[in-house]
Amino acid sequence: MQPDFIHLKLHTEFSLVDGIVKIKPLVKRLAELNMPAVAVTDHVNLFALVKFYKAALGAAIKPIAGADVLIAAHDDATPTRLTLLVKNQQGYVALTELISKAYREGQSLGVPLLKKTWLEENHDGLIALSGAMEGDIGKALLAENTVLARECAQYWAKLFHNSFYLELQRVGKPDEERYIQAALDLAVEQGLPVVATNDVRFLHAKDFAAHEVRVCINQGRVLDDSKRPKDYTDQQYLRSSAEMQELFKDIPEALANTVEIAKRCNIRLTLGKNFLPDYPVPEGMTLGDVMTREATQGLAERLQHYPAVGNGTDEENQAVYYQRLATELKVINEMGFPGYFMIVADFIQWAKIMRFR
């Protein structure tokens, strides 16, 4: 049976700042609602991916990988939101690289941000949702700046060719209908597809109070703070397909596109195997050769400062050390672990250098 709606925007407890959905209860609830797929799009991270992937497949539910990211704005303006979904293996690699770069190079006051230039260089295999009212298009439409909204829409549509969707939400926030009407007008003008999301933060409506506690912890505020921003509503739960159909019965294409997007997103993770970085070795040498050379040189340097201990002559005592090193190296090489040891050694050397900078 063809599904009518797929959730494409959902924050789990791994979002840390604004989600309380646990993976196992999520999968159980999806099964109860007969939903064949779901996307987990945590806040600038993929922490839940492996757990989600395994649990979803175990319940015959298609896992869709993605993340909500924040796009740095010019002149220190408020960042805007964009949701990225993984279409294929290339998209998965791109998203992991982008998120890593946001934490390494894009943090502002502790918040990881992406730069548009990074996306321009690395976006193949990704689908983008506009972020609804929190995206740059949404903010421009609400400010009645149609020129800027059009420019933003054209930019994203060109960058994510045939993979960019204007996002619509009805979760009870102010100005939603004004935004939706403006977004629909823009979609018609620019020939852009629209998609409906429910921006899920918790499983059931009754969980809203618990979710607000999580938000307050992140914000460092208390629940009864009258000045606390109310960014969420009790409608951001995992609605059923029937509820979403009723909610968007006037825009059926926004529901149909969730199914089409789900069909386009296919990810396969290789689990249970270890993958180590490639450690560079000189031409004509193996990792075992390099490790033996470095270890032997290191032992020689240490013996200059710390004489070998034993009952024989210094030369005899040293021979015992070298024989023990040869035994250890033989075991490591036979087990295929020289790469691991060299990588760890590289980390240690880097840490020593950084310590004295």
CA 2, CA 4: separation in Å to the nearest integer? 7
What pLDDT, on the 0 to 100 scale, is given for residue 76? Answer: 67
Written as one string, the DSSP assignment of 12-55 is BGGGSSS--B-HHHHHHHHHHTT--EEEEEEET--TTHHHHHHH
Specify the DSSP class assigned to residue 223. Answer: T
pTM, two decimal places? 0.83
| Distance set, CA 347 to CA 1, 328, 342 (Å) | 53, 21, 9
- Residue 1 domain flag: no
Which helix (H) or strand (E) segment holds residue 302: the answer is helix 287-305
Considering the domain architecture, whether residues 27 and 122 belong to the same structural domain is answered as: yes
Considering the domain architecture, whether residues 247 and 104 belong to the same structural domain is answered as: yes
> Looking at the 3D structure of the chain, how many domains does it have?
2
Q: Which domain holds residue 317?
A: 287-355
Considering the domain architecture, whether residues 253 and 292 belong to the same structural domain is answered as: no
CA 197, CA 239: separation in Å to the nearest integer? 10
Considering the domain architecture, whether residues 186 and 317 belong to the same structural domain is answered as: no
Considering the domain architecture, whether residues 222 and 348 belong to the same structural domain is answered as: no
What pLDDT, on the 0 to 100 scale, is given for residue 1? Answer: 60
CA 69, CA 251: separation in Å to the nearest integer? 26
**CA proximity to 217, closest of 20, 30, 49:** 20
Low-confidence ranges of the chain (pLDDT < 70): 1, 76, 357
- Residue 8 domain flag: no
Specify the DSSP class assigned to residue 108. Answer: E
What pLDDT, on the 0 to 100 scale, is given for residue 357? Answer: 67
Residues 150 and 185: beta-carbon distance below 8 Å:
no
What pLDDT, on the 0 to 100 scale, is given for residue 330? Answer: 95
Considering the domain architecture, whether residues 193 and 242 belong to the same structural domain is answered as: yes
